[in-house]
Amino acid sequence: MANPLILDGEALSKKIYEDLIARVSAIVARTARTPALATILVGDNPASVTYVKMKGRRCRNVGMDSRKIELPGAAATADVIAAIEACNRDPDVHGILLQHPVPKQVDERACFNAIDFRKDVDGVTYLSYARTAMNEMLLGCATPLGIMNLLDHYNIPLEGREAVVVGRSPILGKPMAAMLLNRNATVTVCHSKTRDLPEVVRRADIVVGAVGKPKFIKGDWIKEGAVVVDAGYNPGNVGDVDLEAAAPRSSAYTPVPGGVGPMCIATLIAQTVQAAEAALRV
């Protein structure tokens, strides 16, 4: 299609941060307390180190505190859970982020579930997922919620439309599917055992690529006029969709970088402010 709409997550995230600056200063003025996000990093995976730094910087930019907890790469599940429980007890911590992925010996699911649901600003606990699936979301999974906010900002209609989510991970594909279903899209979730994936994707009015394989979703899988959301983020700033070929067929698409990535972090920070407002009764 001529001139597809660019779903600009970078621009929308800037607006979100402007709004958060005002909300954070209102919290500080009313309670003399500063909202704080605790980030827990296990090991020194370079990508994770960068993500945690970006999240800390974003917190400070809106006037929040960020607390960095670093555990060695050899940490055991019990060590990570102990760090999470200390954050759960700390009234000056309003949000907790355990940076994914953790080293192999750590039971990530057990660690995620140790997060107090009121501080689960990345939306990774069983309870947060269950609430989302039941359409009673309190704090949502940050990346899919960021995608929903981006689609809403650009008034992309969802009701009654065919949505195909490629990927079913607990922190992206599954909650994404639940959120689209809550908005009355007709949702298909694909995975590594899906038969004839290109044909399934060709049915979609809205495609979400959440596979973790560079340029995996090809341009000729995209129906003319579909909305393409590329949640993938692979080395070299490459998404999971072959955007060069897919974007011209789409009516709207998220660029990589500058689409889903900035929305994910903005949503995490926004949910920390929301959690602080709830905890401090602002």
- How far apart are the C-alpha atoms of 86 and 78, rounded to whole Å? 12
- 3 state SS for the chain: CCCCEECCHHHHHHHHHHHHHHHHHHHHHHHCCCCEEEEEEECCCHHHHHHHHHHHHHHHHCCCEEEEEEECCCCCHHHHHHHHHHHHHCCCCCEEEECCCCCCCCCHHHHHHHCCHHHCCCCCCHHHHHHHHCCCCCCCCHHHHHHHHHHHHCCCCCCCCEEEEECCCCCCHHHHHHHHHHCCCEEEEECCCCCCHHHHHHCCCEEEECCCCCCCECHHHCCCCCEEEECCCECCCECCECHHHHHHHCCEECCCCCCHHHHHHHHHHHHHHHHHHHHCCC
Is 99 one of the annotated active-site residues of the chain? yes
**Is 190 or 276 the residue whose CB approaches ligand NAP more closely?**
190
Q: According to CB under 6 A, which one of 163, 172, 185, 201 is a site residue for ligand NAP?
A: 172
Q: Of residues 5-64, which lie at the interface with ligand NAP (CB under 6 A)?
A: none
Whether 175 contacts 141, CB under 8 Å:
yes
**Is 171 or 185 the residue whose CB approaches ligand NAP more closely?**
171
Number of residues that bind ligand NAP (CB under 6 A): 25
Q: Does 210 bind ligand NAP (CB under 6 A)?
A: yes
Give yes or no for a cis peptide into 101 (omega within 30° of 0): yes
Q: Does 129 bind ligand NAP (CB under 6 A)?
A: no
Catalytic-role residue among 8, 65, 99, 242: 99
Q: Does 158 bind ligand NAP (CB under 6 A)?
A: no
Q: According to CB under 6 A, which one of 114, 145, 264, 275 is a site residue for ligand NAP?
A: 264
Catalytic-role residue among 8, 120, 122, 230: 122
Of the listed pieces 19-27, 107-115, 151-159, 160-168, which binds ligand NAP according to CB under 6 A? 160-168
**Is 41 or 210 the residue whose CB approaches ligand NAP more closely?**
210
Least distance between ligand NAP and beta carbon 257 (Å)? 9
- How far apart are the C-alpha atoms of 88 and 263, rounded to whole Å? 26
Q: Does 240 bind ligand NAP (CB under 6 A)?
A: yes
- How far apart are the C-alpha atoms of 161 and 11, rounded to whole Å? 26
Q: Does 144 bind ligand NAP (CB under 6 A)?
A: no
Q: Does 217 bind ligand NAP (CB under 6 A)?
A: no
Q: According to CB under 6 A, which one of 197, 206, 246, 275 is a site residue for ligand NAP?
A: 197
Q: Does 211 bind ligand NAP (CB under 6 A)?
A: yes
Is 55 one of the annotated active-site residues of the chain? yes
Is 104 one of the annotated active-site residues of the chain? no
Least distance between ligand NAP and beta carbon 259 (Å)? 8
Q: Does 95 bind ligand NAP (CB under 6 A)?
A: no
Write out the two tokens for 126. Answer: 């069983």
Least distance between ligand NAP and beta carbon 115 (Å)? 17
Least distance between ligand NAP and beta carbon 77 (Å)? 19
- How far apart are the C-alpha atoms of 186 and 178, rounded to whole Å? 11
Of the listed pieces 36-44, 60-68, 149-157, 168-176, which binds ligand NAP according to CB under 6 A? 168-176
Active-site residue list? 55, 99, 122
